[in-house]
Amino acid sequence: MKIPQMIAAEFRRLTASPMSIVALIALMCVPVLYGGLYLWANQNPYANLNRIPAAIVVDDTGATVDGKTVNYGDDVAQQLIDDGSFQWHRVASGSAASGVDDSKYDFSITFPKDFSSALASASGTDPHRAVVTLTTNDTNSYLASTIGTQAAEKIRTSIVKQVNEQAAKQFLLGLADIRSNLVTAADGAGKLVDGSATAQSGASQLADGTAQLSSGSQELATKLGQLASGAQQVSDGAAKVATGNQQLAAKANDAAAAAAQIAAAAPAAQQDLLARLQAAGATQAQLDQVKAVLGDLDTKVQAGNNQIQGAVGEINQLASGAGQVADGASQVASGSQQAAAGAGQLASGASTAATGAAQLRDGLTTLHDGTVQLSDGLKSGVDRIPDNSPALQKKQASTIADPVNLKNDSITSAGTYGAGLAPFFVALAGWIGIYALFLIVKPVSRRAITALHSPVKITLAGWLTPGLLGAIQMVGLFAIVAGALGFRIDNPLGMYGLMGLASVTFAAIILALNVWLGSVGQFLGLVLMVLQLVTAGGTFPWQTLPGPLAALHHVLPMSYAVDGIRQLMYGGNPATAWADAGVLGLWLLIALLVSAIGVTRMTHFRTLRDLRPSLIG
């Protein structure tokens, strides 16, 4: 009996009755139904998030910012409703809580009453963070809670971006005002430099002048001191002269008084002498002669008295003038002493003024240097602050608020969530389909074992029967994935080829289990499916698995089937796909060799277990 004949005999047995045909068709449809329905259900769930009911609660009472009343909670809530990413319902807090609890809403977002004031507090004296409350209930759906968490994080990011953009706008506007004020200050500093230079020049002249004044006033004080000494000597001499003149005037007055008495007594004495001479008997001639002599004498006496009186008057005037001179000389001496003292004070003040003027000159020099530095610093500050237009400031604020834009530069892309899961579920459906076929397909023909002693032919026939049926299953599943679900496939022929290789490899593995262990081997095929379900890395990366399971990922065939289908479906590395196919081919050869050894044992050594009917088929 040849291999095609053994395969045909098995097909006749599988289609011997209508019920057999129905069973075969049903089992052939298992991978199509399993893979197709699951991938259809998960074809693109993220496109239908707008069907997820979610509640929005706005308790925000608003705030006043720059004299304007704002309510950021209302604004954000309206943006969410307008965006339509979820089926938002704006309700009261009580309705939201009860709705999440009784599964009316999958989650809720709450903006508390201080939401706006908290956002506005960043520019005040009590800055604090705003709070957005996400309420979830995993009994509704764990994935819905996860999606809600991601949505809340996006909402938070959006709010942060808006707040940062507003803050950046205010900062840039303030920076522009600072630049404008710096320009004004720089202009003023330039004028201050000019003024300080003028003041410095004036202070230098003032210092030179006060130095000259100090030197001259010192010389003046010295000369006035000498003058005061000479004036005192003059005053002392004048006082002595005045005293002598007073004494002379007193003597002269005495002499004048005596002369006046003599002059006054002369006429009476003349008359008395003439009377005495007449009484003595002098003649008239003698009397006339005596009278003439006495007349001349009286004239001379009167003249001498007048001269004496005039001289005494002059002496008195001289004494009076000498007194006045003495008084004046005393006043001059006193004034010169006061002038000398004032000149000393003037010299001291001029010296102090000279020192102050020098300090003022030095201070103004320092001030001038400082104003030059201030002017240069202000000009440098103006140059460092860009003069941006309002449009550029707006663009800068937007960039500051969201400085990083994630560019998704994918080497390959699945496209949708369902397409991302497709390689895993295609490989898993292939295993399930082969496993289901072995429920009705006999691993090896007992008649062939009895009639033939060719283990290789029996093994190949036992493998090709489910292998061909598995290849047909993969055709149907491929049609669902590429046609009905419309997933993009970069290399259709390569993908189907790898699907078929995976199916026939799985058939060889389950054949080997059945040849060696019978119904127990069939059960172990189920266990092996479960083990590969968790180690293939079809959902989460295999690196997240526990250590022992991660090690199995590198051994079991489904891992390579999933990776190979990914490479071919998404347009990945062909070399990797060939390597995955090589590992599957190695598994295929090993499984067929193990099966052939088992069949050889069965053709040469029959045991009681071989004679017992299988629990499965």
* Cα–Cα distance, 170 to 154 (Å, whole number): 24
Q: What percent of the chain has pLDDT over 90?
A: 39
* pLDDT the model gives residue 413: 86
Contact predicate 266/301, CB 8 Å = yes
Pick the range with the lowest mean pLDDT from 261-265, 387-391, 488-492, 530-534. Answer: 261-265
Spatial CA neighbour of 292 closest among 284, 303, 281: 284
Pick the range with the lowest mean pLDDT from 270-274, 441-445, 500-504, 527-531. Answer: 270-274
Which tokens is 206 given? Answer: 């003032």
Indicate whether 552 pLDDT > 60.
yes
The mean of the pLDDT values for the chain is 82
Pick the range with the lowest mean pLDDT from 19-33, 397-411, 468-482. Answer: 397-411
Indicate whether 617 pLDDT > 50.
no
The mean pLDDT value for 464-493 works out to 95
* Cα–Cα distance, 149 to 147 (Å, whole number): 5
Pairing of the two strands 107-111 and 87-90: unpaired
Contact predicate 232/224, CB 8 Å = no
pLDDT tens, residue by residue, 439-449:
999 998 777 77
Between residues 482 and 334, the one the model is more confident about: 482
* pLDDT the model gives residue 367: 76
Q: Decide: helix, strand or coil at residue 69.
A: strand
The answer to whether the Cα torsion of 146, 150, 156, 160 is positive or negative is positive
pLDDT tens, residue by residue, 323-375:
676 676 667 667 667 766 776 676 677 678 778 767 777 777 887 787 788 77
Asked if CATH classification 1.10.10.10 holds for the domain at 52-165, the reply, yes or no, is no
Q: Exposed, middle or buried by CB within 10 Å (0-12, 13-18, 19+), for 313?
A: middle
Measured N-to-C along each axis, helices 18-28 and 30-41 cross at an angle, to the nearest 10 degrees, of 40
How far is C-alpha 578 from the chain's CA centre?
A: 52
Q: Decide: helix, strand or coil at residue 415.
A: coil
What topology is assigned to 185-384 in CATH? Helix Hairpins (1.10.287)
pLDDT tens, residue by residue, 291-331:
777 677 667 767 766 776 776 677 667 667 766 766 766 67
DSSP 8-class letter at 481: I
Contact predicate 478/465, CB 8 Å = no
Angle at 411 between CA 408 and CA 416, to 5 degrees: 70
What string of DSSP letters covers 13-67?
HHTSSHHHHHHHHHHHTHHHHHHHHHHHHTSSGGGGGGGSEEEEEE----EEETT
- Break the chain down into helix, strand, coil percent, rounded to 5: 80, 5, 20
User: Which residues is 133 bridged to in the sheet?
Assistant: 110
Other C-beta atoms closer than 10 Å to the C-beta of 49 total 15
Across the beta sheet with 133-136, the strand order is 87-90, 53-58, 107-111, 133-136
Between residues 309 and 144, the one the model is more confident about: 144
* pLDDT the model gives residue 582: 97
| φ and ψ of 70, to 5 deg | -125, 155
Other C-beta atoms closer than 10 Å to the C-beta of 249 total 22
User: Which residues is 56 bridged to in the sheet?
Assistant: 90, 109
pLDDT band for 241, please (50, 70, 90 cuts). low
Widest Cα–Cα separation across the chain? 240
Contact predicate 349/167, CB 8 Å = no
Contacts of 423 (CB under 8 A, 6+ apart): 538, 561, 562, 563, 565, 566, 569
Contact predicate 470/547, CB 8 Å = no
Contacts of 294 (CB under 8 A, 6+ apart): 270, 273, 274
Reported as half-sphere exposure (CB side, CA atoms, 13 A), residue 103 has a value of 5
* pLDDT the model gives residue 390: 81
* pLDDT the model gives residue 583: 97
pLDDT tens, residue by residue, 31-57:
999 999 999 998 888 888 899 999 999
pLDDT band for 255, please (50, 70, 90 cuts). low
Indicate whether 567 pLDDT > 90.
yes
Q: CATH 1.10.287.950 occupies which residues in the chain? A: 185-384
* Cα–Cα distance, 405 to 417 (Å, whole number): 23
The answer to whether the Cα torsion of 166, 169, 175, 179 is positive or negative is negative
Measured N-to-C along each axis, helices 574-604 and 492-517 cross at an angle, to the nearest 10 degrees, of 20
User: Which residues is 88 bridged to in the sheet?
Assistant: 54
Contact predicate 588/506, CB 8 Å = no
Which stretches of 544-613 are assigned E, i.e. beta strand?
none
Spatial CA neighbour of 503 closest among 563, 462, 456, 463: 463
Q: Which helix (H) or strand (E) holds 136?
A: strand 133-136
Indicate whether 610 pLDDT > 60.
no
Q: CATH 3.40.1710.10 occupies which residues in the chain? A: 52-165
pLDDT tens, residue by residue, 153-204:
888 887 877 777 776 666 666 667 777 777 787 787 778 778 777 877 877 7
pLDDT tens, residue by residue, 89-116:
999 999 999 999 998 999 999 999 999 9
pLDDT tens, residue by residue, 194-232:
877 787 787 778 777 777 776 776 776 677 667 667 667
